[in-house]
Amino acid sequence: MNNTTTLQQKAVSTITKYALNAPRYTSYPTALEFEQLQIDPLPQALANSKAPDVSLYVHIPFCKTLCYYCGCNKMVTRHNEKADEYLDYLEKEILSKRYLTEGRRVVSLHLGGGSPSFLSKTQHTYLMYLLKKHFTFEAGAELSIELDPRNIDKRYLQNLKCLGYTRISFGLQDTDYNVQKTINRVQSTSHIADLVFEARSLGFDSVNLDLIYGLPNQSLDTFSSTIAATKAMMPDRISLFSYAHLPERFAAQRKFAEETLPSSEQKASLYDLAVKSFTSIGYEMIGFDHFALSKDSLAIAKNKGVLHRNFQGYTLRGDADLVGFGVSAISTVGNAFAQNAKDLKEYYSRLDYHLPCSKVGLSLTVDDLIRKDVIASLMCNLVVDKQAIASKHHIKFDEYFASALDNLAEMNQDGLIEITSKYIRVPESARIYIRAICARFDAYLNNSETLSSYSKAI
């Protein structure tokens, strides 16, 4: 047996060992830890908040077709008039939450879904009218939106630009027809390329493409084609998401035959291929699943050490409170999380009866805040400054995290993490293990029932 074979076997063994269920850590604690609310926590959280500004998130749940892989909160319909009613209820919620933004500027807005491009140009114009009527946006605020390229054309992009959007994201996912057919998302790569070119011509600050690895029927060959198409478009940012296979939670995923799904080892190969391909042409890696050109604000923030992570992924404005609007939207105000009702009828009913939209949430404990900072530092910077955490939270780091450090010992031996008296550092080669590493600091993962609700870390 030669050295190359031995190294390959060791790599496979390591992947298998750490391909355990773990959160994506867009927050800590995660949304699965939210509890039923007896009272709305946001008024008290606002009183304790030190954030000078706010970010807004608006959830548009509607999609015209169902993508079988999707785990988002969505409603499939072709009745566009449903969005008119939804916008009316959004205004009701905006009015009920204006107290959260009074005296503060909006520094960013993000529209997610579902599919925000379900909205017609007229509906979208009306939504922006509502937002600018009720909130004060700072000059230069970042306005971003997720787009399904199947639903839009160049005129739609022109309208978004006129409305003030600065950053747009297209769901590319995969360019292989067999994969697209399997996931029920057949779309034209050339159409997406035309949209990217148009967006660049219109002068959007940043254009992002979403890719997903680990989809059924994906292989190194097919994903190479997706990567090549992405490189040809040269977006400012690339999001590389791991497919989360949770058929117990998402019924449409049961359509996928298990034998068509890449193994953890194969997923690691797909991830490695993408990382090497994108970084070789000048993209900087952001966290563990994003890429950006060096001129992009996300790369600049990373290099300045001011990158943050929230429910929308990596962001520049983690210092702002996040106020969410729409069904299932999550707000983060001060040290509290609050999530709106996930069922559309219940969301409408709460607004009709002048009840808080928030149904579940959590007020963070001192321990939550400490662990949140450690996990965020790992997810954003691949490093934890022990002394910085100790000074901020008035703890002795190694004593406080004695159990976590013991649990990291094997990872340290496997070369996935470096632990010194001053730092905990994740090598570039071990980025793919970051979720498994962060899980060692998660105080909520002892519950096996909770663990089964998360996808594999690799």
- For every residue of 268-309, DSSP letters joined together read HHHHHHHHHHHHTTTEEEETTTEEEETTSHHHHHHHHT--EE
Tokens 């117990």 found at: 248
CA-closest candidate to residue 275, choices 309, 242, 298, 308: 242
SS3 state at 138: strand
Domain with CATH 3.80.30.20 in the chain: 31-322
**Percent helix / strand / coil, the chain, rounded to 5:** 45, 20, 35
Closest among 238, 254, 256 to 296, alpha carbons compared: 238
Rounded Cα gap, residues 227 and 189, in angstroms: 12
Q: What is the residue type of 259?
A: E
Return the SS3 of 408.
Answer: coil
Over its length of 458 residues, how does the chain's per-residue pLDDT go in tens digits? 444 444 355 567 788 888 788 898 989 999 999 999 999 999 999 999 999 999 999 999 999 999 999 999 999 999 999 999 999 999 999 999 999 999 999 999 999 999 999 999 999 999 999 999 999 999 999 999 999 999 999 999 999 999 999 999 999 999 999 999 999 999 999 999 999 999 999 999 999 999 999 999 999 999 999 999 999 999 999 999 999 999 999 999 999 999 999 999 999 999 999 999 999 999 999 998 999 999 999 999 999 988 988 887 888 877 899 999 999 999 999 999 999 999 999 999 999 999 999 999 999 999 999 999 999 999 999 999 999 999 999 999 999 999 999 999 999 999 999 999 999 999 999 999 999 999 999 999 876 556 777 888 77
Query: Would you state the torsion angle of the CA atoms of residues 276, 277, 282, 285, taken in this order, to the nearest 10 degrees?
Result: -50
Res 11: pLDDT: 65
**Which residue type occupies 25?**
Y
C-alpha R_g of the chain: 22
Residue 52 token pair? 């000078």
Its pTM surpasses 0.85: yes
Nearest Cα to Cα of residue 374 among 366, 383, 365: 383
Where are the domain boundaries for CATH 1.10.10.920 in the chain?
A: 365-451
The whole-angstrom separation of Cα 87 and Cα 122 is 12
> Which residues have CB under 8 Å from 406's CB, separation 6+?
none
Query: Which residues share a beta bridge with 108?
Result: 55, 142
Distances (CA, A) of 326 to 8, 299, 329: 48, 30, 5
Query: Of 107, 194, 109, which Cα lies nearest the Cα of 157?
Result: 194
Q: Which residues contact 76 (CB under 8 A, 6 or more apart)?
A: 62, 63, 64, 65, 66
pLDDT at 207: 98
The closest of 31, 126, 107 to 73, measured between CA atoms, is 31
Instruction: Locate 90 and state its tokens.
Output: 């959004």
State the pLDDT at residue 1: 46
Alpha carbon separation from 63 to 115, 165, 184 (Å, rounded): 5, 21, 13
Could you tell me how many residues make up the chain? 458
Predicted local distance difference test score (pLDDT) of residue 38: 92
- Residue 181 is inside which H or E element, if any? helix 177-182
Identify the CATH class of 365-451: mainly alpha
Nearest alpha-carbon partner for 379 in 315, 317, 329, 320:
315
Q: Are strands 106-113 and 54-60 parallel, antiparallel or unpaired?
A: parallel
* Burial (CB count within 10 angstroms: exposed 0-12, middle 13-18, buried 19+), residue 181: exposed
Largest distance between two CA atoms of the chain: 71
31-322 CATH, one of 3.40.50.2020, 3.40.30.10, 3.80.30.20, 2.60.40.1180: 3.80.30.20
